[in-house]
């Protein structure tokens, strides 16, 4: 049943008509638990509150199904506005973005022009930028662009997904760049030809790449709500005398809030992924797909 629900919500996440409807009617039916508003002003207020509790942030202006140059340019403008707000307000925040929203599916010229604009602004404001990883069809192109940008900018990282068979080799190949990587399990529905279908195999591969990347001496963001993965990381760094300055934990806004604060109290860096914007629908559907408890929360909110 859980897998059926997951597949159902992942299917809904790609529906363009529902995406347009969600933009029209705004944040309702529980989405505000996972999305920090529709404007940068609302997001800044949330970030300040999280910072006051010892939590750091990475902010993401949500956007999906960008299929023309004008929309891609507008999305890049929003990223630059967010960067300037972070700098102006002196927030403990980074920026995350999806390259499809920057024009990845339109042309190399469009996506690269927008990425250069964003990274120039981020460099000026001393802000780190993470390129979120998307589905497998865009994986290699995203990595290729990341490598090119990493050779020109220091303040850039990307994401590696543990559910892909190729992941271990990618972590090894990227080592020459000494990259700052966010390691995740993966949230997209991928075919068994490219991804582990069983959770236990994903978990084992996840532990493997966390160990690889940390022992390679690279900065590692362990982005997981799984307590077993968190405890594995804590034990690994203890056994190998790895400094707390070399890694951080990351979780999504609205999920396991109490645990996030506990990790801060334990002396670990804890970063919260804070999305905002009007194009929240696809992101929200993927959060529902991840955990049945999220669905129960939304249904409860609807009936209220």
Q: What is the pLDDT of residues 143-175, one digit of tens each?
A: 999 999 999 999 999 999 999 999 999 999 999
CB 131 within 8 A of CB 95: no
Q: Does 173 participate in catalysis according to the annotation? A: no
pLDDT value, residue 277: 87
Question: How does residue 188 score in pLDDT terms, banded at 50, 70 and 90?
Answer: confident
66 pLDDT band (50/70/90 cuts)? confident
Task: From residue 7, give the alpha-carbon distance in Å to each of 149, 247, 265.
Answer: 34, 32, 37
Alpha-carbon distance 210 to 213, whole Å?
A: 5
> Which one of the listed residues 6, 60, 105, 132 is annotated catalytic?
132
Domains and CATH numbers, the chain: 36-279 (3.20.20.220)
Instruction: Please tell me the predicted confidence (pLDDT) of residue 238.
Output: 98
Catalytic residue among 6, 60, 182, 279: 182
State pLDDT tens for residues 12-61: 445 555 445 545 454 555 556 788 988 999 999 999 999 999 999 999 99
Q: Give tens-digit pLDDT for 82-115.
A: 999 999 999 999 999 999 999 999 999 999 999 9
Assess whether 132 carries a catalytic annotation.
Answer: yes
- With a CB cutoff of 8 Å and minimum separation 6, the contacts of 51 are 57, 91, 92, 93
- Write out the chain in H/E/C secondary structure: CHHHHHHHHHHHHCCHHHHHHHHHHCCCCCHHHCCCCCCHHHHHHHHHHHHHCCCEEEEEECCCCCCCHHHHHHHHHHHHHHHHHHHHHCCCEEEEEECCCCCCCCCHHHHHHHHHHHHHHHHHCCCCEEEECCCHHHHHHHHHHHHHHHCCCCCEEEEEECCECCHHHHHHHHHHHCCCEEEECCCCCCCCCCECCCHHHHHHHHHHHHHHHHHCCCCEEEECCCHHHHHHHHHHHHHCCCCHHHEEEEEECCCCHHHHHHHHHCCCCEEEEEEECCCCHHHHHHHHHHCHHHHHHHHHHHHC
User: 130, 153 in Cβ contact below 8 A?
Assistant: no
Identify the pLDDT of residue 16. Answer: 56
Q: What is the predicted pLDDT for the residue at 289?
A: 63
pLDDT at residue 67, rounded to an integer: 87
Global confidence as pTM: 0.86
And the tokens for 292?
């049945």
Structure tokens at 85: 């707000």
Categorize the per-residue pLDDT at 255 as very low, low, confident or very high, splitting at 50, 70 and 90: confident
Q: What is the pLDDT of residue 297?
A: 44
pLDDT of the residue at 5: 47
% of the chain residues with pLDDT over 90: 73
């Amino acid at each position: 049943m859980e897998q059926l629900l997951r597949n159902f919500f992942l299917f809904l996440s790609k529906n363009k008509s529902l995406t347009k409807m969600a933009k029209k009617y705004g944040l309702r039916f529980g989405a505000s638990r996972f999305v920090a508003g529709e404007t940068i002003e609302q997001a800044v207020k949330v970030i300040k509150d999280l910072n006051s509790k010892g939590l750091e942030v990475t902010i993401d202006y949500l956007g999906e199904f960008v299929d023309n140059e004008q929309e891609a340019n507008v999305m890049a403008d929003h990223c630059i506005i967010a960067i300037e707000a972070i700098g102006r307000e002196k927030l403990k925040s980074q920026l995350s973005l999806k390259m499809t929203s920057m024009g990845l599916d339109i042309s190399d010229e469009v996506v690269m022009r927008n990425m250069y604009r964003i990274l120039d602004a981020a460099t000026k404001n001393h802000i780190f930028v993470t390129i979120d990883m998307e589905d497998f069809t865009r994986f290699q192109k995203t990595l290729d662009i990341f490598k090119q940008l990493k050779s020109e900018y220091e303040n850039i990282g990307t994401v590696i997904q543990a559910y892909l068979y190729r992941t271990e080799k990618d972590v090894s190949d990227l080592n020459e760049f000494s990259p700052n990587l966010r390691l995740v399990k993966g949230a997209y529905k991928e075919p068994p030809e490219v991804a582990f279908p069983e959770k236990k195999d994903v978990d084992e591969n996840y532990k493997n790449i966390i160990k690889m990347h940390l022992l390679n001496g690279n900065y590692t963001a362990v982005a997981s709500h799984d307590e077993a993965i968190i405890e594995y990381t804590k034990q690994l760094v203890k056994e190998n005398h790895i400094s707390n300055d070399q890694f951080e934990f990351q979780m999504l806004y609205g999920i396991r809030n109490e645990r996030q604060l506990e990790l801060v109290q334990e002396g670990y860096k804890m970063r919260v992924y804070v999305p905002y914007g009007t194009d929240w629908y696809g992101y929200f559907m993927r959060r529902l797909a991840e955990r049945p408890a999220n669905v129960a929360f939304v249904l409860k909110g609807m009936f209220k």
